[in-house]
């Protein structure tokens, strides 16, 4: 099963607006269940990086199923306790570390090993 990709999404634009207001952070894409929402009105490379980032999350979700949000939440809480920063806690989530590291590598998903996200430290 492949995710449904929604480009130039109003939902992604709203999430981006909220993210900028609350966390002073840009959010170009968000994935929920089997949907990927992209706020793609930037240059092509940035749009491709965002899509690759979200597709890496898709691979992680296929490995973890319903446990994805649970693991994400636990990682976030551990990161928050360790780093005492809401923004840094998000970047330290193991799913995010893998997606951030390889979002500009278009061949990564094809060669990715299962559960690669487990190799990161929160
Ligand atoms: Zn992400």
Q: For the chain, what is the domain count?
A: 1
Range of the domain at 77: 4-119
Q: What is the mean pLDDT of the chain?
A: 93
At residue 42, the pLDDT reads 66
Distance 83 CA to ligand 1 centre (A): 19
Chain segment 8-51, per-residue pLDDT in tens: 999 999 999 999 998 888 899 999 989 999 987 667 888 899 99
Residue 102 Cα, ligand 1 centroid: separation in angstroms? Answer: 11
Q: Exposure pattern of 35-64 as b/e (b: 16+ CB <10 Å)?
A: ebbbbbeeeeeebebbbbbbbbbbbbbeeb
Helices H / strands E in the chain, number of each: 6, 3
For the chain, give the percent of residues with pLDDT over 90: 80
Is the entire prediction scored with pTM above 0.75?
yes
């Amino acid at each position: 099963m492949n995710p449904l990709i929604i480009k130039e999404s109003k939902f992604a634009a709203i999430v981006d607006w909220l993210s900028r207001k609350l966390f002073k952070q840009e959010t170009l894409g968000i994935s929920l269940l089997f949907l990927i929402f992209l706020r793609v009105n930037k240059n092509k490379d940035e749009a491709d990086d965002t899509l690759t980032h979200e597709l890496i999350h898709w691979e992680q979700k296929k490995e973890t199923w319903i446990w994805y949000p649970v693991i994400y939440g636990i990682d976030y809480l551990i990161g928050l306790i360790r780093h005492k920063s809401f923004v840094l806690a998000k970047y330290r989530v193991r799913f995010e570390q893998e997606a951030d590291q390889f979002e500009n590598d278009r061949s990564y998903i094809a060669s990715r090993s299962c559960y690669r996200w487990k190799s990161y430290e929160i």
